[in-house]
């Protein structure tokens, strides 16, 4: 609608209904957490974006090894999250390969998901590029490879990037901005995980954080305490952008719906249903590390004033050109929240596109049309990638890696990610972060 390709909302939905993806799953997924994370993350993200459907082959009805679906069977999890298990591929859709499966000659782009250490992404299946070993030192790596695959497939259908399907694309969560296909001897096995976190905002970013958190290999999730802060209801639009939202949740408070999802997986939760602002003050018995994923400069200004030892904030771009952009800031750092968000960003409004013609929306006045045109574009694969960097920031600091204060980039060009190292290092080392970490099994 924003680019003019769709002449109406109905036309936009018709275009999206032609987006679909075929997923081929190798035998490794029956016994590998990494492969199950990659498959289920791709299915969950694609279901919300590819309205034509998701078809999956090769899934066995074995045990679900990672608690990110409401079932204990892997095949049932694939179906619960929105895919159809089939015997024959759809020749009109691009192909995602996970595990030791061969490409099928469908005439459409094919991507091989691959990961190693803290790195993950996709390779064009038809190019002779050696894949990684598909062994993660950090469980986030297979998840971000799924996010990258969804992004590349979306670009192919949208027709807005000529290299989609023809290029390698991926990221390093240990050394953002470095070549993700190059072996990094400095990567460490994750042995410490966060045990107490304050989550500010439970929209598309907040739910992506929690999806990734649930995928981490906790020995006992009952040891993990999460403060969930949001004041809003689950809306119908959240189903297309947010990883934990399902239609039956629409109309519920986000805090309570997400709390139920987490407690079903044995996490302990505390609900805070006030808006975040200068009136929020952490006490000494509450989590000292906060993760923020709100699209609200008024809230972001006060992130340094609530008494947290560490704040990690993520934001997304908006508009038809920048909706693939993401950024991360940490505090304390050389940046100051009040300066970064010293004024409200005005989102550009272009009401000249045919989809925003008054004749298409007779029920809306000029103000209503402006509000419709200014709606942010949100897609789950961008939220997942941003969330991957956020969760990696905590894990990297806990497990002896470097601390960053800025990560900024775009899914359209993952080879060009801006990074700034932090001069402050709270929670950098595991032994100094006992208040927010727990050993994995």
**Which residues are the active-site residues?**
367
Q: Which of 185, 167, 165 is nearest to 175 (CA)?
A: 185
Dihedral of alpha carbons 343, 348, 351, 355, sign: negative
Query: For residue 344, how many other CB atoms are within 10 A of its CB?
Result: 9
Q: Which of 170, 151, 143 is nearest to 387 (CA)?
A: 143
First and final CA of the chain: distance in angstroms?
48
Q: How far is Cα 156 from Cα 109, in angstroms, rounded to an integer?
A: 8
Whether the CB-CB separation of 168 and 123 falls below 8 Å is answered with yes
Sheet architecture: strand order including 310-316: 268-272, 225-229, 196-200, 289-292, 310-316, 325-331, 404-410, 418-421
The three-class DSSP label of residue 114 is strand
Could you say which DSSP state residue 218 is in?
B
Q: How far apart are CA 251 and CA 264, in angstroms?
A: 20
Distance CA 138, CA 151 (A): 21
């Amino acid at each position: 609608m924003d680019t003019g390709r769709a002449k109406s909302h109905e036309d936009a939905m018709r275009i999206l209904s032609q987006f679909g993806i075929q997923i081929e799953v190798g035998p490794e997924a029956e016994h590998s957490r990494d492969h199950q994370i990659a498959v289920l993350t791709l299915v969950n993200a694609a279901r919300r974006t590819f309205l034509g459907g998701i078809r999956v082959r090769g899934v066995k009805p074995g045990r679900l090894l990672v608690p990110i679906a409401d079932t204990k069977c892997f095949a049932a999890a694939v179906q619960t999250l929105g895919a159809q298990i089939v015997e024959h591929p759809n020749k009109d859709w691009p192909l995602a390969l996970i595990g030791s499966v061969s490409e099928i000659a469908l005439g459409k782009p094919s991507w091989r998901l691959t990961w190693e250490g803290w790195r993950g992404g996709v390779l064009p299946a038809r190019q002779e590029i050696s894949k990684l070993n598909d062994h993660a030192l950090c469980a986030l790596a297979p998840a971000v490879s799924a996010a990258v695959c969804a992004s590349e497939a979306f670009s192919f259908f949208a027709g807005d990037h000529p290299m989609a399907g023809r290029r390698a694309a991926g990221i390093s969560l240990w050394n953002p901005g470095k070549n993700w296909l190059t072996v990094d001897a400095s990567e460490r096995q994750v042995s410490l995980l966060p045990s107490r976190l304050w989550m500010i905002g439970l929209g598309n970013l907040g739910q992506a954080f929690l999806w990734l958190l649930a995928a981490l290999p906790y020995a006992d999730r009952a040891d993990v305490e999460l403060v969930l802060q949001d004041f809003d209801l689950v809306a119908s639009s959240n189903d297309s952008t947010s990883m934990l939202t399902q239609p039956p949740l629409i109309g519920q408070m986000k805090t309570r719906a997400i709390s139920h999802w987490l407690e079903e997986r044995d996490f302990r939760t505390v609900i805070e249903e006030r808006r975040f602002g200068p009136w929020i003050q952490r006490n000494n018995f509450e989590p000292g590390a906060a993760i923020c994923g709100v699209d609200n400069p008024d809230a972001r200004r006060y992130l340094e004033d609530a008494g947290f030892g560490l704040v990690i904030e993520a934001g997304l771009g908006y508009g038809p050109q920048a909706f693939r952009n993401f950024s991360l800031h940490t505090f304390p750092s050389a940046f100051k929240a009040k300066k970064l968000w010293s004024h409200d960003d005005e989102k550009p409004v272009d009401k000249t596109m045919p989809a925003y013609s008054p004749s298409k929306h007779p029920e809306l006045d000029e103000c209503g049309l402006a509000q419709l045109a200014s709606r942010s574009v949100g897609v789950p694969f961008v939220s997942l990638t941003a969330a991957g960097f956020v969760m990696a920031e905590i894990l990297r600091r806990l497990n002896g890696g470097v601390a960053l204060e800025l990560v900024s980039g775009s899914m359209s060009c993952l080879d060009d990610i801006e990074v700034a190292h932090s001069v402050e290092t709270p929670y950098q080392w595991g032994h100094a972060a006992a208040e927010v970490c727990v050993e994995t099994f």
